[in-house]
Structure 1
Amino acid sequence: MQKLLLYLILLCSLLSYSQNKRIEITGMLSDKLGKVVDAHVINITSKQGTFTNINGEYTIPAKLGDEIKITSIQHHDLNVVVAGISIKSKKLDLLLNLKEYVLEEVEVKKTYLSGNLGTDSKEIKKSDKQAVMENLGFNPYPKRLTKIEREIKTAYAGGIQYGLGVVASLDYIINSASGRIDKLEKQKELLDNDSKLKQLKVTYKDYIVNELKVDSTKISRFLYFAHFDDNFTEAYKKGNLELIQFLKNQAQLFNIIQKENKSKITD
């Protein structure tokens, strides 16, 4: 009887461990035009991410219930929760929807311009709305918040008054206690990094390939590798000179690792 009980306890422990352990899931991203290359695949739950290769394929550790987010410049973001069938097959193929870019309707008014920027700029009058907002101390061109920024702002919004006139946000207390604010801010950090990496790829693509000698098919992987360094954010903020030196140092490490991995495979 004791042996049977011990066996059942051991079996339950093994089942629990297998359910909580992340496994490598592979998949392919595509849209109506074909394979999606260099899309960012993020496991929001485990804070891990990767990029799709030239065939639209990716591999990422995941377990049942993990939330996977797909981001791509040309596509709408996609969030999916890993289901049992994906764990069983170790496969998760997804279809992305392309963004449709529509120009906003604009009103063209007749103006009399001389072609001299200094003179013409004085002749352009402010709109009534812009003038009123500036007189009241408001910015007539406020920054448009992203979706995640709006969610964070909502999590902090609202308030109650207690004690000696001290105002505390009720939403903040609830969302802070539940961990929602931490989750949203970490998600924003991931998305901000994703945006930075895409911008770096567009700006420094030729430099990375021609000067740093990084394989053109591994640019996204190199930038993803580099952004984990503690000096990434500081170098990004300081601009070109600091960033170029930072990328140069990272490329040396990246190329060494790539050579070592290649030699291991050939051995």
Structure 2
Amino acid sequence: MFLLCFGLRAQQQENYVLKGQLVEKSTLEPISFATVLVVNRKKGVATDNEGKFEFPVQLNDSIKITSIGYEPVTFTITASLMETHPEGLFIQLEEGTYLLDSVVVTGFAKDFYLNRPERVPMDLGFVDPNAPKTDWSKPQMETLEQGGVGISGLLNFLDRKFMEKRKLNVLLAAQEKEKTQKEAVEAKFNKEFVKFVTRIDDRVIDEFMEFCNFYDIEILRASEYQLAQKVLNKYDAFLRR
């Protein structure tokens, strides 16, 4: 027991506790549920409702802070950084800047050929004299079989491509948000945390975590103490099944 206590004390002296608060730079409003990740160890936490976080780190750990709509921040844990900020870091995130496709608006003159009310042929100087004559007094069907696509068809095609691209961007943004939320949930509710709280056997930990069946928002909004209480309550119910 003496050797175990000595080992734990030595480990605590070797580690640091990184704590701080994330706010928006322009308004100084707290940023909730941002991901604070230790890149080299693939572990991290999510900020609480006040934008605060706290977890153990080691020297030379690479820290990356991300939140949807903000520019990411990265830095390395050094002794001087921890010693000069004993009360914690106050980190201001800037809003992200995203480039959108440019839109060009063009006005046509009244005599421009697209505005002609009648469908009349345009002699470009290379009309085949042997080609069959077309009755331009009748509506013409413009299809791919005639060697091209009409202007209206082209505009409809471009409009569909724009809408498809817009839907794709929305889908990618939703997937990125879901990924970030999943990482934040796993950073708070994982096997290491559950084992620390319950001392549960490795043989049944997967079954127990599935038994907990917490909602993601329930995990993200709970503090570490509240989450530990929830886990203990579930563990008591798990043992009484």
* TM beyond 0.5: no
Question: Which protein is richer in helix relative to its size?
Answer: 1
Report the TM-score when normalising by structure 2.
0.44
- Considering only CA atoms, is the larger Rg found in Structure 1 or Structure 2? 2
